[in-house]
Homo-oligomer: A and B are copies of this chain.
Amino acid sequence: MTPSPKTAPDASRRSERSRRAILDAALELVGETGYQRLTIEAIAARAGVGKQTIYRWWPSKAAVLLDAFAALGEEAAAGETELPDTGDLEADLKLVLRTTVDELNSPRFDAAYRALAAESIVNPEVCAHFVERILEPQLRLYAQRLARAQQAGHIRPDIDPRTALELLTGPLTHRWLLRTLPLTHEYADAVVELTLRGLAHG
């Protein structure tokens, strides 16, 4: 769904500039108006491009938004395609969850991500694309890190990493989405410690 211009370098640079402007506009607008009221027309106007430029590259507003979120995720990951692995699982997970807290609390991310999550909750089709394109690729990184920790003997061998990772990510998402209590680094640390050590005595 991303443009792959087979044209001269100048045209290619212009294409990339337009593409970035469209994705940025989509993120800003969905945060301002919500998913339902977002239109391709408004994205085009905010990005300073023609509607046809958007329709040439994307079939729908959902497709633009998913690319915009994917780009935001790549930006946040800063080129990293794996979770950190220093050998210290607890320190690595605290670092990752603290970074996630900062991301969720950042205004650029917050409004847009809330709008997409709210729509996903009531719209199974948007949800399926969101989960497949944005959410599960992130969760797989946790599963891989936990599987490596398991190989290194730091995680119990009977544990399914795909199930276990939700103990780390679920509480953070829940607290952020429903604003029950402040989402802080201290909370991120507590979730990692409780998840690794468990609640039960002895």
Smallest CB separation, A155 vs chain B (Å)? 5
In the complex the two chains form, what is the Cα distance from A136 to B153 in whole Å? 38
In the complex the two chains form, what is the Cα distance from A36 to B34 in whole Å? 11
Which chain B residues lie closer than 8 Å to A172 at the CB level? 170
Q: Is A45 an interface residue (CB 8 A)?
A: no
Which chain B residues lie closer than 8 Å to A121 at the CB level? 114, 117-118, 121, 177-178
A interface residues, how many (CB within 8 angstroms): 55
In the complex with contacts A197-B200, A201-B153, A169-B179 CB distance below 8 A: no
Given B130, B146, B167, which contacts A178 in the complex, CB threshold below 8 Å?
B130
Question: How many subunits of this chain does the assembly comprise?
Answer: 2
In the complex the two chains form, what is the Cα distance from A169 to B181 in whole Å? 14
Chain A, residues 111-128, CB within 8 Å of chain B (1/0): the string is 000110111111010011
Smallest CB separation, A79 vs chain B (Å)? 26
In the complex the two chains form, what is the Cα distance from A29 to B34 in whole Å? 21
In the complex the two chains form, what is the Cα distance from A148 to B36 in whole Å? 46
A198 touches B197 (CB 8 A): yes
A195 touches B167 (CB 8 A): yes
Chain A, residues 171-202, CB within 8 Å of chain B (1/0): the string is 11111011111000001001100111111110
CB within 8 Å of B: which residues of A?
34, 36, 89, 114-115, 117-122, 124, 127-128, 130-131, 135-136, 139, 146, 153-157, 159-160, 162-164, 166-167, 169-175, 177-181, 187, 190-191, 194-201
9 further contact pairs, Cβ within 8 A, besides A120-B178, A177-B177, A197-B198: A127-B178, A131-B180, A154-B201, A155-B200, A155-B201, A156-B197, A166-B170, A167-B199, A196-B199
